[in-house]
Amino acid sequence: MRILVVGGSGLVGAHVAEVLRERGHGVSTVARSANPGVDHLLDVGTATVEQWRPLLAGHDGVVFAARTDEQQALRKPIYPVFRDDLVEPVVRLFTAARLEGLTRGVVMGSYYTYWDRLHPQLRLPERHTYIRCRIEQAQEARTAAGELPVAVLELPFVFGRAGDRLPNWAGPLDKWARSKSPLVVPVGGSAAASARSVAIVAVDALEQASGEDIPVADENLTWDAMMARVAAAVGRPRRVRRLPAAALRASVRLGGALQALGRKESGINPSHVADLLLAEMFISPTTGRPLDPSVGETFHQGMTPASSK
């Protein structure tokens, strides 16, 4: 196969390209800015169908691995901004892929869509713009692709490193773990995976021309277990305490009120984020691959200016 990896210089995209090459497949990469390993420069957010078609020509499949920051607070209304960032680019990309006769595709999505299927009573798309747009992203990518099968990988916290590229949440955690501040986290927890594992699952999906929703996790961790691993990785192992649920709810309500006063919103609504943080957002089954190597890879070298953007 020959595969175009969109976001090929990012954390997940770089690992996908690596695994594809290891298996003998041809790879081309696209990114917004010039970085090692980038073959084509293109503004992924605004690229038209006509701009995508010559880049897709001659390929069998495409991977959309560009990322967004769901926590960034923006002026209301934020829904059009998130649609422009998450939904419209994949619609144009997979429209072009269908027209060029590609036979398979993968979108790097979010495990919030998996959680929404399991717990519709939480009304996640109504409460969180980011989750609404992730659901629309998967649906509309497949509509644009027509008969071209598109697998959506539903990703949790992803650990790892690709050059100086790190998870966008790693910088604050690294700083906190290295500080003298107490480590206090909510009850609850999250699934987690390494970028390498995500890449393996993505390439498996491409080889099988899968069109499924595929939740990905190496391990399920409570928040205190996850933070303890981060602290150990930076060389400051210590006890992690649990914050009472009532204290967390009061704190995030205040954050939501302050955001509203500033006429701002974020993709994950702070007024309802406690329902997510206090839950055990686990994925079953897990891959069983050990997560510790990627945790160490993420944190033991510390943050560099380029990686904390």
The residues, ordered by sequence, that sit 6+ positions from 118 with a Cβ below 8 Å of its Cβ are: none
Taking the model in full, what pTM does it have? 0.92
pLDDT digits (tens, 9 = 90+) for 263-273: 777 888 888 89
E strand or H helix at 4, and its extent? strand 2-6
Q: Taking residues 173-182, what's their average pLDDT?
A: 95
Q: What tens digit of pLDDT does each residue of 235-273 get? A: 999 999 999 999 998 888 777 666 666 777 788 888 889
The predicted pLDDT at position 36 comes to: 80
For residue 163, name the pLDDT band (cuts at 50, 70, 90).
confident
State yes or no: pLDDT of 306 exceeds 60.
no
Q: Which two tokens stand for residue 150?
A: 């598109």
